[in-house]
Amino acid sequence: MPGASRHHWGTDFDIFDAGAIACGHRVELVPEEFAAHGPCGQLQAWLEEHLNGFGFYRPYREDLGGVAPEPWHISFAPSASGILEQFPETLWQEQLKVSAIEGYECLAPRLDELLDRYLFRVTPPPRN
Ligand SMILES: [Zn+2]
């Protein structure tokens, strides 16, 4: 949802190894592409070893009942952690209400539940 996607914060992005993707293959960002023998397997191994050293981590590392595991999704912890901790839930809900988002009447009764499940239920950043 607008404003509740970590991508919208500018702290998170999806990454893949473009050089390892076969010509004509359309990247889908699925777990198979990041498996050991998948086209992004070497990137996955490199990220496992070095990601945290650059301040990044994986908020969707494991299935916590919210967003499914996404090994391609990385987050810059020093910036993202503060945004998550201080996420303006009331302001966000007010802005959704006054926006012209289609289907708002279906979302409105579930906003607290959706935030808990998809925004706050994430793997915490490592303690370095
Ligand atoms: Zn992502």
Would you kindly state where each structural domain of the chain is located, as residue ranges? Answer: 6-120
Rounded distance from Cα 73 to ligand 1 centre (Å): 4
Rounded distance from Cα 8 to ligand 1 centre (Å): 10
The answer for 126, left when phi > 0, alpha when psi is -120 to 50, beta otherwise, is beta
Residues with a beta carbon under 5 angstroms from ion ligand 1: 14, 73
Rounded distance from Cα 7 to ligand 1 centre (Å): 6
- pLDDT, tens digit, 9 for 90 and up, residues 3-13: 899 999 999 99
- pLDDT, tens digit, 9 for 90 and up, residues 42-73: 999 999 999 999 999 999 999 999 999 999 99
Instruction: Locate 98 and state its tokens.
Output: 């006054």
CA distance to 10, 18, 21, 32, 69, per residue, from 42 (Å): 26, 12, 12, 13, 18
Inform me whether the pLDDT recorded for 95 exceeds 90.
Answer: yes
Rounded distance from Cα 102 to ligand 1 centre (Å): 22
Rounded distance from Cα 58 to ligand 1 centre (Å): 10
56 DSSP β-pair partners: 76
52, amino acid identity: N
